[in-house]
Amino acid sequence: MLKVISWNVNSVRARVDSVEHVLKTHQPDFLALQETKVTDDLFPYDQFPGYTCHISGQPSYNGVAWVCKNSCDVICRNLPGFEEQKRFIAIESNGWTLINVYVPNGGDAIGGDKYTYKLGWLEAFCDQISSYDTSKMLICGDFNIAPTDQDVYDPLKWNNCVLVSDEERAYWQKIKDIGLSDVFRTIHKDQPGFTWWDYRGFAYRRKHGLRIDHFLVSNDMIDRVEEITVDEETRRLDRPSDHAPVQVSLKL
DNA sequence: ATGGCGTCCGAGGGACGA
């Protein structure tokens, strides 16, 4: 069994206790963190006994990490052409290519500079993924894309907003067209599966969420998935991240 | 219509997130 968790922690240093709790509770083989918001030298390596951390970090913003129980090799710590923002780290283990991403948010306006940056990043991401062997691949992370209106608590309110635009959703499709399946939506046809709730306005309590944190696996590997769940308990802890961890179990 | 909350950096409040 291979157990992988993906979690946008919104600062790994502010969430050390919660990360420990997640590791103890679920005992994953691999934990993918996004928005670690810390340089590599200040990463709390020593706080997660039994796990080795592979980092791609920067000051204040972004940052991704693989926290690994098993040994693995780091393949790539940057998306080519977008090295200034640390949003991509790929490793290999047991014949699997495991990719952890933090897709740019895209700002608050369709057509704005941050939105354009996001689309460019997604284009480069598709090229990078296509350059690997995609037959035994798992990609997880914060994609900042809600693939369909089912993944949005109030689609009318979110109409024409960043995270749900046609262009972003077209990139989601383009990623899947490389030969990957949306794990959550394949297993759970009806659940919303929200993974993010705004800190503001009691959004979690009111179930005002989005499904933007995803797992993709190679089409030929989808039958190996035992389960995928959103760990809302961790979202209910004191001082939570605004994202919940998502966990997948699959047969090796 | 706007801000609403949380984190970082660094010493006050702006940048950023989604």
Instruction: Please check whether strand B approaches the CB of A36 to within 7 Å.
Output: no
> Cα(A226)–Cα(A58) distance, rounded to whole angstroms?
35
pTM for the full model?
0.97
- Residue A76: is its pLDDT beyond 90? yes
- Residue A108: is its pLDDT beyond 90? yes
A2 pairs with which residues across the strands?
Answer: A250
β pairing state of A30-34 and A2-8: parallel
How does pLDDT run across A22-42, given as a tens digit for each residue?
999 999 999 999 999 999 999
Indicate the average pLDDT of chain A: 97
CATH of the domain at A131: 3.60.10.10
Q: Do the Cβ atoms of A194 and A211 come closer than 8 Å?
A: yes
Looking at strand B, which nucleotides approach a protein CB closer than 7 A? 3-9, 16-18
How does pLDDT run across A167-226, given as a tens digit for each residue?
999 999 999 999 999 999 999 999 999 999 999 999 999 999 999 999 999 999 999 999
For A61, list phi and psi in degrees, rounded to 5. Answer: -125, 160
Exposed, middle or buried: residue A223 (CB in 10 Å: 0-12, 13-18, 19+)?
exposed
- Residue A107: is its pLDDT beyond 90? yes
Number of domains in chain A: 1
Look up the domain containing A162 and give its range.
Answer: 2-250
Residues 6+ away with beta carbon under 8 Å from A173: none
Run of H or E residues at A114:
helix A113-130
Smallest CA-to-CA distance from A195 within A3, A9, A4, A2 is with: A9
Name the pLDDT band for A70 (thresholds 50, 70, 90).
confident
- Chain A window 100-139, residues with Cβ within 7 A of nucleic strand B: 104-105, 107-108, 114
Residue at minimum CA to C1' distance from nucleotide B3: A200
- Chain A window 141-170, residues with Cβ within 7 A of nucleic strand B: 142, 144, 162-163
Q: Which nucleotide, over all strands, has the C1' atom closest to the CA of A11? A: B7
How does pLDDT run across A79-100, given as a tens digit for each residue?
999 999 999 999 999 999 999 9
Question: Which pLDDT does position A92 carry in this prediction?
Answer: 98
Q: Which nucleotide, over all strands, has the C1' atom closest to the CA of A9? A: B7
